[in-house]
Amino acid sequence: CAKRDDRKQIQVFDEEMKRQMERTAVLRDGLVAAIDQGTLESAFQVLVDVETGFPKSAEALARWTHPELGPVSPAEFIPLAEQTGAIRDLTIWQLENACRCCAEWPGDISVSVNLSAKDFSSDTIIGSIEKALQQAALDPSRLIIEITETAMLELRTDVLAAITEIRSRGVRVALDDFGTGYSSLSYLHKIPFDILKIDRSFVEAVESDPRQLQVLSGITQLARLLEKSVVIEGIETQEMMDLLSERVDFDLAQGYLFGRPMRERDIATLVSAFGGTGSRKNGFSAVA
């Protein structure tokens, strides 16, 4: 009867919740240990110049394999790190590792690191960025800080001042996952940033309805008016790249078509295969 079914469902739900809570507890402890022991890894994904196809930049993406549970997605462990406060050490490690790798790569390729809104809850972030640059002897113009649109909207005015400070030192700031938050075009001019990263969901939208190209094209035109560089994320096929390059004005492309996230030395190999990054300037200065 219906009642018994209900009870059964509740039981299944309870068990599922219990399992999830146990996993979370295990991951939480494991993550702190992994950061302490230096067993987190970083994969890098290239961003290529739309005009020339040269790799211009690489994004550092955290990778973690739990000793018992296997690979864990950043979509799962980054929010945990934010909840526990472990994100601060994770970010410092990412900054230092990314700057060190970038300094070792051939040519003048840039590197980007994802920051969380939580990284701005103390005022040490600027010091951490400076230290990472100094340790690696990397020019600030080769580091990009990525902050999601949603995180950017949460940030208070003093944090926005910190971002302005970061930019004044020559480090560029990218607005990540654009289009997944409020997407209110009217606030864009109030946010201090250099690079607009248009989320993969727009590419998916174009796949299902080519009329979406007009939306994409409108966004990039606005970005041009605001003198921002434009990246489109999540390009997986040559057909999509052809369509986008024909109809949309953007500077850099990122996606499986150009390379999956890879090991740091594979980035070096890839850059060498291209004979460098194509110019002494880097791709993000394409706005002119």
Q: Which stretch binds ligand C2E (CB under 6 A): 12-20, 22-30, 68-76, 215-223?
A: 68-76
Closest by Cα among 231, 277, 276, 286 to 255: 231
Closest by Cα among 210, 277, 195, 282 to 244: 210
Binding mask 263-282 for ligand C2E (x = CB under 6 A): --------------------
User: What does 78 bind: Mg ion, ligand C2E, none (CB cut-off 5 to 8 Å by kind)?
Assistant: ligand C2E
Q: Say how many Å lie between the first and final Cα of the chain, rounded.
A: 71
Supply the DSSP symbol for 166.
H
The torsion angles phi and psi of 274, rounded to 5 degrees, stand at -85, -5
**Is residue 75 a contact point for ligand C2E (CB under 6 A)?**
yes
**Is residue 155 a contact point for ligand C2E (CB under 6 A)?**
no
Q: Between residues 30 and 119, which has the closer beta carbon with respect to Mg ion? A: 119
The helix/strand count (H/E) of the chain reads as 10, 9
Closest by Cα among 283, 286, 285, 248 to 58: 283
Total site size for ligand C2E, rule CB under 6 A = 22
**Is residue 119 a contact point for Mg ion (CB under 5 A)?**
no
Q: Which stretch binds ligand C2E (CB under 6 A): 46-54, 113-121, 178-186, 274-282?
A: 113-121
The two three-digit tokens of residue 39, written as one number: 């067993």
Q: Are 257 and 238 in contact (CB under 8 A)?
A: yes
**Chosen residue from 82, 108, 119, 177 binding Mg ion by CB under 5 A:** 177
**Is residue 149 a contact point for Mg ion (CB under 5 A)?**
no
- Residues 28-57, interacting with ligand C2E (CB under 6 A): 45
Question: Where on the chain is the footprint of ligand C2E (CB under 6 A)?
Answer: 45, 61-62, 73-75, 78, 94, 114-116, 146, 176-177, 200, 234-236, 254-256, 261
